Structure 1
C-alpha cells in the first residue's frame, strides 16, 4: 500500500491539488441513552422540548425511546462539527430535567428487556414503518443489543477532488462511476486496516452485569456489578454487540458498487425461514416489516457503509444504484467516556488522514481468504487487542500488532504531512504521533485508561459512568449560546408541526403503504 499511496500523494502534490485533501466534509452522529438518577434506562417519552423524532433534522432517537441520537450537519472542519455537537448536547441537557445522558457505549442498568421502550414516531405511515422495523429487531435479535450506543463518522472528499483525481488516473468514464469506485477503494482498505481504529479508540472493555441478563458468556468479573475482558478494546464491536452472529452468513460484498448493491438487494428480498416463523401481522399487531433476511438495508451491521442522501421514500440501495456513492459512514467508533463529547478534534483529524490514506492506497479487491483474515483480526482486536505479544494476520503471515500498526501509521503519516503542508501547521502530523504513542504503550489507549480508572474508583461500571456523565454535563451545558438555544427551539417547534401535518394528511392504509414499500 505504501508505494501506491506515495505515488498518489506525489501526483496530487505536483498537480497542485494537495489542498483538496484538507477540504474534507465531515458530520457526526452520536447516540446516548437517557438514564435516571439511579443509572437505570429512562421510561419517559422523548422530551417534547427536543421536538419530533420523526422530522427533526438534528435530534432523533435510534432503537429505543430512551436512546437519543444527535446529528450534525455536514461541516467543513472537524472543529465545526464538534462545536455543533457541543451545542446539541448543551441544548438537550436543558430539556432532560433530572435525567442524565449516558456517556458510554455499553448501556446503563437495564433490569430486563421489558424495561427497554421501543422508539415511537407517531401515527403517520412513515412513523409506523420506523416503529415496526424496530419491533422486528426485537424479535430477531433481542432488545438488549439495540441499547448499545456509538458514534457514526460521516466523511467525504470535496466535489473538486474527483475530476482532478480522475484526470490524473487517465480515466475517461463517467465521473459518477469513478467516484463510486473510489469510495469503494476506500472501503476495501478500511476493512483491511480498520482494526487499528479499534485498537486506538476502542473504549468499551467493560459493561454492567445487567447487560448479559443471565445469558452465558466468557467475560470475567471485575466487581460484583461489572464484567470485562482484561485486554479487550471494544466489546461493543464484539459478538456481544453489533458484530452479530445472526448476520454472519450474509456475505455482503464490499468490492464494488454493483456487487454490493446486488448482494444487499438479494438480502432484503429473500425470505428467511427463521423469520417466517415470527410472522408479520399477528393478531392485528405487526411484528416485523417482512420475513426477509434483512427488513431494510440499515439492519445490516457493518463497520463501514457507502452512503448517499436519499429522497423521501427512497431506499438507500436504490439511491446508490441511481446516483452513486456520496460519502462513507464509519461505524466502528466507540463513545469515549473520558471525553465530554465522546470524541475530540485530534481523533477526528486522525480519522480523516486515515480515510484519505485508504482512499489513495492499494486498489485490489478483497478475496475470500483476505476477508477471512480481516474477520479474524477484528475478533482478536476487540476481545484481546492489548494482549502482550498479540499477532495479527497479514499478507506475509502472522506479525506482531506493533509491526502492523506502525506500518499503517507510516502510511497515514505521509498523508498527514502533505495535509499539514497544504493547511499550514502540524495538527495532522501531531494526531498521528499521538497514535504512535498508544502503539508503543498500550496503557495509553482509551480501553486501558477506562479499566484503570474504573478499578481505581472502586465503583461499578454503572456508578462510574453515571459520575462521568454528570461531570460532562457540568462541562457542556454552560457552553450553550443564546443563538443555538433559539435555533434549536425553533427547530423543535417546526418538527412537531411537520409531524402533525404528516399525520393529518390523507394517506393510504398502512397495509398498502407497507406492501408498496417492501415491493419497491
Structure 2
C-alpha cells in the first residue's frame, strides 16, 4: 500500500481518530533589546540559568538572542501556556531590557555589535561558541541575529503500529516510521511556501541590517529613510537576503530516505570548502571555526524542515537519526507573530498541525535535484513577492497561480480538519481553515500586509514600529508577575542548570583538541 491510500485506509478501518493528539512543542527566539533600543550588550542574565544546560531558557547565536523551548504537549493550549510562563518569568528577571517582537533584527550598530553566545569553559561549551565564531566568519553575525519560531511535531505514537499493519509494510516499525516522516517532509517542501504567504511577518528591514554590507541595499525599494522593503514581500527572513556564501546552494541533500539524508549530510560535514580553508581553523592557537568543511556540523544546514531525534550528550544529530530513526519534525519557516506577545497563537499552531498531517497522508513521490531547486525557487518567490497579484509558481513542472494552488492545499486539508475536530466541543481546525481561505482571497489581511499598512498609517520606520510594539508587549508582562508556584519551579531550574554546568566543567578529562576529534570520529 502506498501513502496515497493512508487517509482512505484509516477511514475504511475506522482508525482515523488516531491522527489526533500528536505532540506539539515550540522553540522561540527573541533578541534582548536595551532601553535605548539597541541589541543588549549584557551577558545572558545569570538569574535565568545557564544557557548550556537549562532545558527551557537558552541562547541561540548571540548572547542577546534568547531561545525559549517548551516541552511537547498533545494539546496546544498547554504548549502555549508554558511559553507564556517562560516569557513572564524572563520579564520578571529582566532589568531595563525588553524582547524584540519581530523576526528581523533592529538596533544593530554594525556586525560586531552582535555578541556571540558563550557557554562556559567546558569542552562542549567551547564547541558551541566556536561553531558560532565559524558562522560569523562564513556568513556574518548580522544574519545570525534573525529570530524565528520552530514548530516541533511528532505524529501520534499510537498511529504507527496500526498504519504499519494496514499498509502491510515489510519494514521494521522504526524504519517504516522514518520513511513515513520523510514522505511528510517531501510534501512539506512542496507545499511549505504556503506558511510564508499566510504567516510571513517580515516584509521590511532596517537599513542598519546592511550596515556591514551596504552594497546589498540595492536589491530593495526604500520604504522611508530608515527602511527597505519589497512591496509584496511576505517573509524576507526566509529569503536569500544577505548570504555572502553560496556553498549550501549546491548541496544535494537526499530527502528520499533516512539513510540517504544521513549520508548526504555527513558528506557535507566531511568535505573541505576552499573559501573556509582560507579562514583557517586554528589560527595562532585560537579556533576560528570547528573545521573548514562545507558544514561545520549538521545544524549549519539551513532548511525549512528537519527530521529530528533526541540526542544523547555529545552525540551527533546524524548519528542519533541513524541509531534511533526520526522522532519528530522541526518546521523552521515561521516568522515571529509581531502582533502576539509570545510570537505565536493556537490557530497558527493548529493550522500547521493539520498541514503536516495532510502532508503525511498524501502521496509523496521521491524528489530529485531539479525538484528541490523548484521548491526553493517557489519559496523564494513567495518570500519576496508572495502577495503580488497573479503570482504564479511551478507545480509538477507546470505554472499555477499561487491562489489556485493555495486553495487546492486548503481543500486537501479539509478531511484532516474534520477528523481533528470530531467529537470536540469546538471546531477549532475548521475555523482556522476558513480564516486562511480569507487570506488567500484578500492578501491585505496577511500579517506582512498589515505590518506595512500600520507602518504607513503611523508614519513609522520599521525600527520604530518594531520597538514600539515590542515595548507594548513588554508592558503587558511587567504589570503582571508569574505565580509563586511557577516562579519557584523556574528558580529551581535555573539553580539546577548552573550546578549542572559546573559539574560538566569539573568532569572534563580531555584536552579540547582531543574532544573535538572524538566528537567528529563518532560512528
Q: Is the 8 A contact 2:279 2:288 kept in 1?
A: yes
Among 497, 513, 522, the alignment partner of 1:511 is: 513
Question: Is residue 316 of structure 1 aligned with residue 314 of structure 2?
Answer: no
Aligned to 2:106: 108
Structure 1 396/140 Cα, relative in aligned 2: closer, same or farther at 3 Å? closer
Question: Is residue 251 of structure 1 aligned with residue 252 of structure 2?
Answer: yes
Aligned to 1:71: 69
Q: What is the alpha-carbon distance in structure 2 between the residues aligned to residue 241 and residue 156 of structure 1?
A: 33
Aligned to 1:383: 384
Q: What is the alpha-carbon distance in structure 2 between the residues aligned to residue 321 and residue 242 of structure 1?
A: 31
Further displaced range: 8-17 or 188-197: 8-17
Aligned to 2:497: 495
Q: What is the alpha-carbon distance in structure 2 between the residues aligned to residue 494 and residue 31 of structure 1?
A: 22
Among 3, 10, 19, the alignment partner of 1:12 is: 10
Matches within 5 A, 1:37-186: 37-186=35-184
Further displaced range: 188-197 or 449-458: 449-458
Q: Is the 8 A contact 1:19 1:423 kept in 2?
A: no
Aligned to 1:342: 343
Q: CA deviation at 1:332?
A: 0.4
What secondary structure sits across from 1:507 in the alignment? Answer: coil
Among 483, 490, 498, the alignment partner of 1:481 is: 483
Q: What is the alpha-carbon distance in structure 2 between the residues aligned to residue 360 and residue 317 of structure 1?
A: 26
What secondary structure sits across from 1:216 in the alignment? Answer: helix
1:56-85 deviation digits (Å, cap 9, x = unpaired): 000000000000000001111111111100
What secondary structure sits across from 2:67 in the alignment? Answer: strand
Aligned to 1:215: 215
Q: CA deviation at 1:116?
A: 0.9
1:209-235 deviation digits (Å, cap 9, x = unpaired): 100112323111111111111000000
Structure 1 243/414 Cα, relative in aligned 2: closer, same or farther at 3 Å? farther
Aligned to 2:362: 361
Q: CA deviation at 1:17?
A: 2.1
Q: CA deviation at 1:370?
A: 2.2
Structure 1 370/429 Cα, relative in aligned 2: closer, same or farther at 3 Å? same
Further displaced range: 53-62 or 107-116: 107-116
Further displaced range: 14-23 or 298-307: 14-23
Q: CA deviation at 1:366?
A: 1.2
Q: What is the alpha-carbon distance in structure 1 between the residues aligned to residue 24 and residue 245 of structure 2?
A: 27
Q: With the length of structure 1 as denominator, give the TM-score of the two structures.
A: 0.97
Q: Is the 8 A contact 2:39 2:108 kept in 1?
A: yes
Question: Is residue 282 of structure 1 aligned with residue 280 of structure 2?
Answer: no
Q: What is the alpha-carbon distance in structure 1 between the residues aligned to residue 3 and residue 323 of structure 2?
A: 30
Further displaced range: 376-385 or 415-424: 415-424
1:346-389 deviation digits (Å, cap 9, x = unpaired): 01001000000000011311133322221221111000000011
What secondary structure sits across from 2:279 in the alignment? Answer: coil
Q: What is the alpha-carbon distance in structure 2 between the residues aligned to residue 418 and residue 441 of structure 1?
A: 27
Aligned to 1:24: 22
Q: What is the alpha-carbon distance in structure 1 between the residues aligned to residue 7 and residue 426 of structure 2?
A: 18
Q: Is the 8 A contact 1:87 1:481 kept in 2?
A: no
Q: Is the 8 A contact 1:150 1:334 kept in 2?
A: yes
1:310-366 deviation digits (Å, cap 9, x = unpaired): 111110000101110000000000001111111100010010000000000113111
Further displaced range: 166-175 or 321-330: 166-175
Q: CA deviation at 1:244?
A: 6.6
Q: Is the 8 A contact 1:18 1:422 kept in 2?
A: no
**Structure 1: runs of 5+ lacking an equivalent:** none
Aligned to 1:299: 300
Q: CA deviation at 1:479?
A: 6.0
Matches within 5 A, 1:370-519: 370-395=371-396, 397-477=398-478, 478=480, 480-519=482-521
Q: Is the 8 A contact 1:102 1:469 kept in 2?
A: yes
1:193-222 deviation digits (Å, cap 9, x = unpaired): 001111001000011110011232311111
Q: What is the alpha-carbon distance in structure 1 between the residues aligned to residue 242 and residue 422 of structure 2?
A: 40
Further displaced range: 494-503 or 308-317: 494-503
Q: With the length of structure 2 as denominator, give the TM-score of the two structures.
A: 0.96
Structure 1 481/13 Cα, relative in aligned 2: closer, same or farther at 3 Å? farther
